Amino acid sequence: MKINQLFFPLITATATCFSACYQSAPKTPVIPGRPASIGFIGDTADISAPVKGGVVLIGGGGNVDGAFQWMLSRSGGGDVVVLTASGNGGYNADIDSLGKVNSVETLNITSRELANNDTVAYIIRHAEMLFIAGGDQSRYMQQWRGTKVDAAINYLLQEKKVPVGGTSAGCAILSGWYYSGEGGSAVSDSVLANPYDSLVKLYNNDFLHAPYLQQVISDQHYLKRHREGRHVTFMSRIIKDNAVFPRGIAPDEKTAVCIDENGMATVYGVSKACFIMTDSLKKPELCENGQPLEWNHAGQALKVYEIPASANGNGSFSVADFDPAKASGGSWYWWWVEKGQLKKKAI
């Protein structure tokens, strides 16, 4: 879109308001009267467009153009809304450049007051595509959970069925089980040595409800930050504390898992994504406070499918049922933990 396509309802606005709006985001101007908005491109007139559902989990570290194009192709060219709590307004121009849309707007929702604002919720509910930026997932949890914004996002996921994606922190909160990151970021070596480290704070399906992800816990920046060990530790804690055997999905940086309306996933980007399967007959042998995790089962504790990404999408994995027979384009591994050390071998 060109800048002369923008519509600014400034007939009644003062020159002071005009100046303040443009100084805050000169490339994607703010539209007065839209709470939390930190940038807008396109037409303010709401449109209705045919949509197709889908969920995108991005591992952070940079945009994945193929994943955005996948979402845009399902948006019907309608209105795109980006959510953040850290003032990240840089997605508007990037998304607008990748496909035809009616508008792109970023909402910076930094308080529960804003998260309960009727206009903010209205803007989200009328989106044909939603993207949640990175940052700190504990802020999203604390400021959005149980609010009108929370309900609006779940409306898009469950009823309107529009494409919804998230990167890094935005990815973390899209899975049913999620790690909150309160107090700091857990490190693999530390939590493998003590699964009950104070930084391991996990929550169960009390926030967003994306299709097929109720029993999934995701992790991000996966291989780049060596997070496999902490992810496995999270899963061991869920089993020990809740008697639930979760599944794992973990994209590396600049890598996206795009899950269609039937629960089939394809991997876009430049690195890899891992799909982790637990077995109800293979509980962790030792998961106790102050002791190294032991999850061995003769080197076959966890079965993992690793799919290399490509710019146009590679591989296939059924997130709907984690059926190994439906997996293609990747490689199988066994993962296990021996005396607090994560180990891997190809199958």
Per the CB < 8 A criterion, the answer to whether 255 and 268 are in contact is yes
Q: Is the pLDDT of residue 14 over 60?
A: no
Which pLDDT does position 29 carry in this prediction?
72
* Mean pLDDT of the residues in the chain: 92
Q: In this structure, what DSSP letter does residue 277 have?
A: E
pLDDT digits over 281-339, tens only? 999 999 999 999 999 999 999 999 999 999 999 999 999 999 999 999 999 999 999 99
pLDDT of residue 28: 62
* Percent of the chain clearing pLDDT 90 (strictly above): 90
Q: What average pLDDT score do residues 139-154 get?
A: 98
**239-265: pLDDT as tens digits:** 999 999 999 999 999 999 999 999 999
pLDDT, residue 170, reads 98
DSSP letter at 309?
-
Cβ-based neighbours of 96, under 8 Å, separated by 6 or more: 1, 41, 42, 104
Residue 148, Cβ neighbours under 10 Å: how many?
20
Is 0.85 topped by the overall pTM?
Answer: yes
242: left (phi over 0), alpha (psi -120 to 50) or beta: alpha
pLDDT-based confidence at 20, cuts 50/70/90? very low
Evaluate if residue 15 carries a pLDDT over 50: no
Distances (CA, A) of 149 to 108, 152, 156, 208: 12, 5, 11, 10
pLDDT of residue 32: 78
- Digit-coded pLDDT (tens) for 181-201: 999 999 999 999 999 999 999
| Rounded distance between C-alpha atoms, residue 12 and residue 18, angstroms | 10
Q: Which residues contact 295 (CB under 8 A, 6 or more apart)?
A: 232, 236, 282, 284, 285, 286, 287, 301, 302, 336, 337
Residue 33 is predicted with a pLDDT of 85
Instruction: Of 13-17, 71-75, 332-336, give the lowest mean pLDDT range.
Output: 13-17
Domains and CATH numbers, the chain: 34-170 (3.40.50.880)
Q: Pick the closest to residue 142 from 106, 113, 99 (CA basis).
A: 113
Checking if the pLDDT of 140 tops 60, the result is: yes
The amino acid occupying position 185 is S
Using an 8 Å Cβ cutoff, are 172 and 201 in contact? no
Answer whether residue 6 shows pLDDT above 80: no
Strands (E), the chain: 37-42, 54-58, 79-84, 103-108, 129-132, 163-167, 177-179, 202-204, 216-218, 247-251, 255-260, 264-269, 272-277, 302-308, 314-318, 331-338, 341-346
Tokens matching residue 328: 């293609």
pLDDT digits (tens, 9 = 90+) for 101-119: 999 999 999 999 999 999 9
**Residue 230: band (very low, low, confident or very high) from pLDDT cuts 50, 70, 90:** very high
Question: Could you tell me the two tokens for 144?
Answer: 């959005």
**Residue 2 reports pLDDT greater than 50:** no
Residues in the chain: 347
